[in-house]
Chains A and B, each alone.
Chain A
Amino acid sequence: MQEVLKQNIVEKRILAPRDSRKTIGNINVPNPRMVCRNVNVYYGDKQAIRNVSIDIGCNEVLAMIGPSGCGKSTFLRCLNRMNDTIDSCRVTGEILFDGRDIYDPSVDVVPLRAQVGMVFQKPNPFPKSIYENVAWAPKIHGIVESKSDTDEIVESSLQKAGLWEEVKDRLDQPGTGLSGGQQQRLCIARAIAVSPEVILMDEPCSALDPIATAKIEDLIEELRAQYTIAIVTHSMQQASRVSQRTAFFHLGDLIEVGTTETIFTKPSHQLTEDYITGRYG
């Protein structure tokens, strides 16, 4: 990466000026799973997101990076309407999921959130057994009927999350007793147990040590084959390792979108370059 950055300086490309707030780069993908157009988010009078438009493609990992308070987490939480739990929060614009606006008054958030799962910054397993943690959501959605169905879903979810080998002998023990990295993989297993189409990850590794982080990153790579993943991260190395496309946010604006390679090697916006070269953060 260091060499790449040196090359950039040598090339002396002309970057978009720092005060340009229009999104640079191609926001479209050929086969979008989610389509966001002119999304604005307000907390009371304060606008947190301004006119963000972006597509999220099938089977891709979209990384969202940007300095603290840039609105990337807020935007992520719009995608499964988790912002609904905040009273003062208001969302305008369109977010289409499989062709339907998820903010349409007729949309029921319950099935939506089952299809668009979420993994949080801090591992948050329920204070129940490992088995119950994974089986809980399939049960409430009526996906499973018999005990054997449940066992099957628990096993396959834990396997997909790469946790099965570590916990198969102690499924009845509490999920909160696992290590931080295991807890986070348990949360991923819990999210994929209801067969979502999209998984949103909000800085999933920020509370984990490097080894646990590496395991989660490998897992994201594997999950990409089946799911669409949108990940918010503070670590640019992580974004470059796990994602195919990267979106750079700054103070509520989507500044630049592009393939991860382009963003990290040939950014077009001055702010993007400043951020990825570590001039601020």
Chain B
Amino acid sequence: MDLGTRKILDRSFTAVGITSILLMAAALLVVIVPIFTGGIGAIFFKGTVEHRKLQYNEFGKGDLAVIRQQTEETDIYRNKVYAMLDAFESEMELMEPTEKKKYRSQYTKVRKVLAHLFGPLPGDMEPILLRYQYGTTRWEKAEEALHDLMFVSKWDYSNPDEMAKQYFVPRSDEFAGTALAALFPYMENSLEKMLLPEMTFYWGFITERSLDAHIFGGIWAEIQGTFFLAAGAMLFAFPLGVIAAIYFTEYAKDNIFTSILRSANSTLAGVPSIVFGLFGLAFFINTVKVSESKSVLAGSLTLAIMVLPTIIRAAEEAILAVPKTYKEASLSLGSTKWRTIMTVILPAALPGIITGGIISLGRAAGETAPIIFTAAVSVGATIGIADVLNSPTPALSWNIYNLASEHEAASEIRHVQYGMVLALISIVLLLNLSAILLRARISKKLKG
């Protein structure tokens, strides 16, 4: 191959390499940016007076005097709305039954939207579910509700060859000539005064429990559950893994038994996580009965089994990377094998061992499948450290899936999902970052 061809090949390879890296970075951006903006939206948003009422009533946060004053302010405008409703109801009483029927369903819809915006209306029964006791807490949701109030959604089926198209007609048309006709322009103009949106920094999203299945409140229970599960997994897996790695590298003889053990370890590393989940249910809960049913303990043990091969492998590599000369030097000074391992080999291998451990910790925090059957519940209270032996816990990974797929009001709480995803990604990234820093620090200490 002549020089010219080699140069062209080199350059084209460089170009392909750079392109693939750029593509990867772009894909990462496409994923990360919405997660970041959406997740931040769970903490920074325009909160309405309802949000402040909720915070005061449920968590005792906020200034009561301000809330009272704002409630009075908003009530002035809201009462006008309620008065219009009363007027229309009296008007309906006097209508012919057919006419009355015509308005009835439309009016129910109006009331429903208003209750969604302001909380229970005068004359409504006191709702049992918390989600109906308050109005809209987030301004962008209030704007969506306003749109629902202002317009009736209709479908255009006129062209049979095309898909039906959605179109909107003003709802005020339906009530033209009644006492309610004035409601719509009034709502459009005064909604802000009825809800008083303010830029809100809701730190409680991270530190507070969720209310009414994540309709309101934060994700502390999930964050704490994730922490318990991951930490518990490491509690079991890390010491076991390091001991196994020491056995493999320093004690195991090269025979069939050892190679069977080694390949078992490699196989275990490749088993899909859902299989570990089922194994955890079958073994830890049904057979060993570490707990009555799902518990943090059972979940931790399952996660521990899952990350064990990774930890063993990482620790083994780290121990093998320690120069043989250290071991020889130690032995030649009359140190025992055990002491050589503990004081010379392990300290030198520590950066690698810890890196493997923290990466496994990140994996344990992020895995969903192993905890579905062993530890996770979709909605649960924050558990204390004393409950880990017999209580299940909500956890970020499982609740991200659950909110996206099984929650009855999934579309209403997208911000919570994004917030959870962002929290989980942040936790894993922080763990990996601390692994890198710790490694650098220990290596520096060793090298000086």
Give the interface of A toward B (CB within 8 A).
80, 82, 85, 87, 109-115, 117-118, 120, 122, 124-127, 129, 136-137, 140-141, 173-174, 176-177, 187, 190-191, 194
Apart from A113-B332, A113-B333, A127-B347, list 18 A-B contacts with CB within 8 A. Answer: A82-B331, A85-B331, A87-B253, A117-B332, A120-B328, A120-B329, A124-B323, A126-B344, A127-B348, A127-B446, A129-B448, A136-B343, A137-B334, A176-B448, A177-B447, A187-B329, A191-B332, A194-B334
B232-276: which residues lie under 8 A (CB-CB) from chain A? 253-254
CB pair A126 B332 closer than 8 Å: no
How would residues 324 to 337 of chain B score, 1 for a CB under 8 Å from any chain A CB and 0 otherwise? Answer: 01111111111110
CB-CB under 8 A from B323, the residues of chain A are: 124
CB-CB under 8 A from B332, the residues of chain A are: 80, 82, 113, 117-118, 120, 191
Nearest-Cβ distance from residue A154 to partner chain B, whole angstroms: 14
Q: Is the C-beta of B109 less than 8 angstroms from some C-beta in chain A?
A: no
CB-CB under 8 A from A122, the residues of chain B are: 325
For residue A137, which residue of chain B has the nearest CB? B333
CB pair A110 B326 closer than 8 Å: no
CB pair B328 A113 closer than 8 Å: no
CB pair B344 A124 closer than 8 Å: no
CB-CB under 8 A from B334, the residues of chain A are: 109-115, 137, 140-141, 194
Q: Is the C-beta of B339 less than 8 angstroms from some C-beta in chain A?
A: yes
16 contacts between A and B (CB under 8 A): A82-B328, A82-B331, A109-B334, A118-B332, A122-B325, A124-B328, A126-B330, A127-B326, A137-B335, A140-B334, A174-B446, A176-B447, A176-B448, A190-B333, A191-B332, A191-B333
CB-CB under 8 A from A80, the residues of chain B are: 332
Give complex CA distance A137, B331 in Å: 10
CB-CB under 8 A from A177, the residues of chain B are: 447-448
Interface pairs A-B: 7 shortest CB-CB: A174-B448, A114-B334, A124-B325, A118-B332, A113-B334, A137-B333, A127-B446
For residue B327, which residue of chain A has the nearest CB? A85
CB-CB under 8 A from A114, the residues of chain B are: 333-334
CB-CB under 8 A from B253, the residues of chain A are: 87
**CB contact under 8 A between A124 and B326, given known A176-B447, A177-B448:** yes
For residue B334, which residue of chain A has the nearest CB? A114
Nearest-Cβ distance from residue B47 to partner chain A, whole angstroms: 55
For residue A122, which residue of chain B has the nearest CB? B325
Nearest-Cβ distance from residue B319 to partner chain A, whole angstroms: 14
Could you say which of A120, A174, A190 contacts B325, with CB atoms under 8 Å apart?
A: A120
B303-347: which residues lie under 8 A (CB-CB) from chain A? 323, 325-336, 339, 343-344, 347
CB pair B333 A174 closer than 8 Å: no
How would residues 87 to 107 of chain B score, 1 for a CB under 8 Å from any chain A CB and 0 otherwise? Answer: 000000000000000000000
Give complex CA distance A118, B329 in Å: 8
Could you say which of B325, B327, B330, B333 contacts A117, with CB atoms under 8 Å apart?
A: B333
CB-CB under 8 A from B254, the residues of chain A are: 87
CB-CB under 8 A from B344, the residues of chain A are: 126
CB pair A127 B331 closer than 8 Å: no
Give complex CA distance A176, B139 in Å: 63
Give complex CA distance A51, B275 in Å: 60
Give complex CA distance A136, B344 in Å: 10
Nearest-Cβ distance from residue A97 to partner chain B, whole angstroms: 13
Give complex CA distance A80, B332 in Å: 8
Give complex CA distance A117, B328 in Å: 11
CB pair B336 A127 closer than 8 Å: no
CB pair A140 B325 closer than 8 Å: no
Give complex CA distance A140, B339 in Å: 9
For residue B340, which residue of chain A has the nearest CB? A140
CB-CB under 8 A from A112, the residues of chain B are: 334
Give complex CA distance A136, B323 in Å: 18
CB pair A174 B328 closer than 8 Å: no
CB pair A126 B448 closer than 8 Å: no
Give complex CA distance A115, B333 in Å: 9
Give complex CA distance A169, B327 in Å: 28
Give complex CA distance A177, B448 in Å: 8
Nearest-Cβ distance from residue A114 to partner chain B, whole angstroms: 3
For residue B448, which residue of chain A has the nearest CB? A174
Give complex CA distance A141, B326 in Å: 18
Give complex CA distance A176, B328 in Å: 16
Give complex CA distance A126, B325 in Å: 9
Give complex CA distance A245, B156 in Å: 110
Residue among A109, A140, A194 facing the most chain B CB atoms (10 A cut-off): A140
CB-CB under 8 A from A127, the residues of chain B are: 326, 347-348, 446-448
Give complex CA distance A21, B239 in Å: 55
CB-CB under 8 A from A126, the residues of chain B are: 326, 329-330, 344
Residue among B326, B335, B447 facing the most chain A CB atoms (10 A cut-off): B335
